[in-house]
């Protein structure tokens, strides 16, 4: 049985203010929690049904994770999901981010990086982190105006990819300014080059703009190649006006990886 203090603390982590105060966030669901356990994140506490704890007792002991059994009905009080899962983890936020020397100097060299400009929808951000993981892109830069990466909806939408992708909140304009043209920055625009006909290579930064406004005026001067995702819908049929940010990201990433093999 959980104490009232435990329930109060976990419930508080659904709110951004308290996540910042305690420097912790929550992860729910067997797969997501397992990914967190097997990552470099530190699990402050595991809250699960007796059955889940018994099934995973060896792993819990080997990782020295504090585990607490939840009684029927308690998971519903601490869960952020409409349908509570059998396990919830309280996870410590990492205290360090990459320094401003070699990491930033090598950014976008020999690899792909995704930069997100003012992504506001938690589902979009979580899905983009999952897309990055799928395409072997292990650094995602988020502008300071993006939705918080430890928002429960973001964490849930990553489906565990947050455990494998380095997500950094930073001032994108400062990052691009410091790069001083040392790597290409690709962005999507209506007047860009059709992405399906480009030889994109294997390195650089893919800049994805806000869901409704696109890439901000402040960042446009840093874009070295404008890309366009053509529509194949017939104009007479009332084709879609735009693509969801996460879908556009997936298409661009797929084209980069296809270009590597061509």
Q: How many domains does the chain have?
A: 2
Tell me how far apart the terminal alpha carbons of the chain are, to the nearest angstrom: 58
Distance from C-alpha of 56 to C-alpha of 93, rounded to nearest angstrom: 23
Q: In what order do the strands lie in the sheet with 112-116?
A: 166-170, 139-143, 112-116, 204-208, 185-194, 225-228
Residue 168 CB neighbours (<10 A): 16
The rounded Cα 235 to chain-centroid distance in angstroms is: 34
Q: Tell me: do 82 and 186 sit in the same domain.
A: no
Q: Indicate yes or no: pTM above 0.95.
A: no
Domain that holds residue 145: 102-261
Encode pLDDT of 160-214 as tens digits: 999 999 999 999 999 999 887 789 999 999 899 999 999 898 899 999 999 999 9
- With respect to residue 97, please indicate whether it lies within any of the assigned structural domains: no
Encode pLDDT of 16-26 as tens digits: 999 999 999 99
Residue 63 CB neighbours (<10 A): 14
Band of residue 43 on the pLDDT scale cut at 50, 70, 90: very high
Please tell me the predicted confidence (pLDDT) of residue 125: 98
- With respect to residue 239, please indicate whether it lies within any of the assigned structural domains: yes
CA distances from 233 to 3, 240, 243 (A): 57, 8, 12
Which CATH number characterizes residue 256's domain?
3.40.1280.10
Encode pLDDT of 94-128 as tens digits: 876 665 557 777 788 889 999 999 999 999 999 99
- With respect to residue 147, please indicate whether it lies within any of the assigned structural domains: yes
Q: Tell me: do 141 and 212 sit in the same domain.
A: yes
């Amino acid at each position: 049985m959980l104490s009232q203090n435990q329930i109060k603390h976990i419930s508080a982590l659904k709110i951004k203010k308290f996540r910042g105060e305690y420097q912790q966030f929550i992860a729910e669901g067997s797969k997501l929690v397992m990914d967190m356990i097997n990552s470099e994140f530190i699990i402050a506490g595991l809250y699960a049904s007796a059955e889940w704890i018994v099934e995973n007792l060896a792993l819990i002991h080997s990782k020295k994770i504090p585990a607490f059994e939840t009684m029927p009905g308690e998971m519903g009080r601490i869960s952020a999901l409409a349908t509570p899962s059998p396990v919830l983890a309280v996870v410590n936020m990492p205290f360090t981010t990459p320094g401003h020397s070699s990491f930033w100097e090598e950014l976008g060299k020999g690899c792909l990086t995704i930069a997100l400009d003012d992504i506001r929808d938690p589902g979009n951000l979580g899905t983009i982190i999952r897309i990055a993981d799928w395409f072997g892109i292990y650094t995602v830069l988020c502008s300071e105006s993006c939705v918080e990466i430890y928002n429960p909806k973001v964490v849930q939408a990553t489906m565990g990819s947050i455990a494998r992708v380095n997500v950094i909140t930073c001032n994108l304009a400062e990052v691009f300014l410091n790069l001083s043209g040392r790597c290409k920055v690709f962005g999507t625009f209506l007047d860009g080059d059709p992405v399906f006909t480009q030889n994109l290579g294997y390195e650089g930064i893919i800049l994805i703009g806000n869901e409704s406004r696109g890439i901000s005026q402040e960042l446009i001067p840093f874009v070295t190649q404008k890309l366009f995702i053509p529509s194949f819908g017939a104009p007479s049929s009332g084709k879609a006006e735009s693509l969801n940010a996460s879908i556009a990201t997936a298409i661009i990433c797929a084209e980069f990886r296809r270009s590597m093999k061509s």
